[in-house]
């Protein structure tokens, strides 16, 4: 799964990578311990161009009567995303990319949890596949939320967990964001685990176990 991640990417770099035209924010502050329910910058396409918007992490289906369900839908299994009622509309019509510098996983030894920071070996930003939805509360308040797609772990990540985010190759960004692509099954080739030879990880301080702690110290190598 993916339950915590890092964004340490300047906006100018994001703009170049994802061909952004407009944005709800003038600059991005580094985030070292992003947790579910928090607002996160995600890339979407509106039919004419890509833009960056703040969405809440934890998808709430448009038909849901209980917004609390979003805290449980932080991940969507790519193998079942076309079948699950909560995701089947979004995978066809509401796809997004979540920029990440890396994500965290934990090993469990002798009753203790040890956090690790997983990232690309060349430290380049990741473009992670996501889906989003628009939800209207009974009082008329609108909320946009997203979920991170996951796949089976590659050999590297499997040492810590059996799941990992769907990391897209840059040449597939356009297809994933396309507003003209509604055949969800045609996207399944994108769900393969990212090559382990291009990734690495290191153990980090247990400070990251507290979602209220957000500092570069979270990704410091032990």
pLDDT in tens, 18-68: 999 866 565 688 999 999 999 999 999 988 899 999 999 999 999 988 777
pLDDT of 22: 65
| Single pTM value for the model | 0.95
222 to 34, 121, 201, 214: CA distances (angstroms) = 20, 17, 11, 17
Flag whether pLDDT at 180 surpasses 90: yes
pLDDT of 215: 95
Q: Which residues pair with 115 in a beta bridge?
A: 106
Flag whether pLDDT at 140 surpasses 90: no
Mean pLDDT score of the chain, rounded to an integer?
93
Ordered by where they begin, the domains of the chain are 5-105+123-194 (3.90.1680.10)
Euclidean distance between CA atoms 96 and 26, whole angstroms: 20
pLDDT of 199: 98
More confident residue, 130 or 24: 130
pLDDT of 68: 75
Q: What is the share, in percent, of the chain residues with pLDDT greater than 70?
A: 96
Active site residues: 2, 105
pLDDT in tens, 84-127: 999 999 999 999 999 999 999 999 887 888 999 999 999 999 99
Q: What is the share, in percent, of the chain residues with pLDDT greater than 90?
A: 81
pLDDT of 111: 80
Q: Can you tell me the mean pLDDT for 184-209?
A: 96
pLDDT of 70: 65
SS (H, E, C) the chain: CCCCEEECCCHHHHHHHHCEEEECCCCCCCEEEECCCCEEEEEEECCCCEEEEEEEECCCCCCCCCHHHHHHCCEEECCCCCCCCCCHHHHHHCEEEEEECEEEEEEEECCEEEEEEEEECCCCCEEEEEEEEEEECCCCCEEEEEEEEEEECCCCHHHCCCEEECEECHHHHHHHHCCCCCCHHHHHHHHCCCCHHHEEEEECCHHHHCCCCCCHHHHCCC
pLDDT of 191: 98
pLDDT of 26: 59
pLDDT of 112: 87
């Amino acid at each position: 799964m993916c339950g915590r991640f890092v964004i340490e990417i300047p906006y100018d770099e994001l703009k170049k990578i994802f061909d952004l035209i407009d944005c709800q924010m003038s600059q991005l502050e580094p985030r070292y311990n992003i947790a579910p329910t928090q607002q996160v910058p995600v890339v979407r396409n509106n039919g004419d161009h890509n833009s960056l918007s703040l969405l809440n992490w934890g998808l709430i289906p448009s038909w849901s009567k209980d917004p609390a369900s979003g805290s449980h839908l932080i991940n969507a299994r790519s193998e079942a995303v076309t079948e699950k009622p909560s995701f089947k509309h979004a995978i066809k019509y509401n796809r997004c990319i979540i920029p990440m510098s890396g994500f965290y996983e934990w090993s469990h030894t002798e009753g203790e949890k040890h956090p690790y920071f997983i990232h690309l070996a060349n430290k380049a930003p990741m473009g992670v596949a996501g889906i989003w939805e628009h939800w209207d509360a009974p009082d008329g308040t609108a909320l946009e939320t997203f979920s991170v797609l996951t796949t089976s772990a590659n050999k590297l990540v499997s040492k810590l967990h059996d799941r990992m985010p769907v990391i897209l190759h840059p040449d597939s960004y356009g297809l994933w964001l396309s507003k003209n692509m509604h055949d969800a099954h045609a996207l399944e080739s994108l769900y393969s685990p990212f090559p382990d030879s291009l990734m690495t990880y290191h153990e980090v301080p247990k400070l990251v176990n507290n979602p209220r702690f957000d500092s570069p110290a979270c990704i410091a190598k032990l």
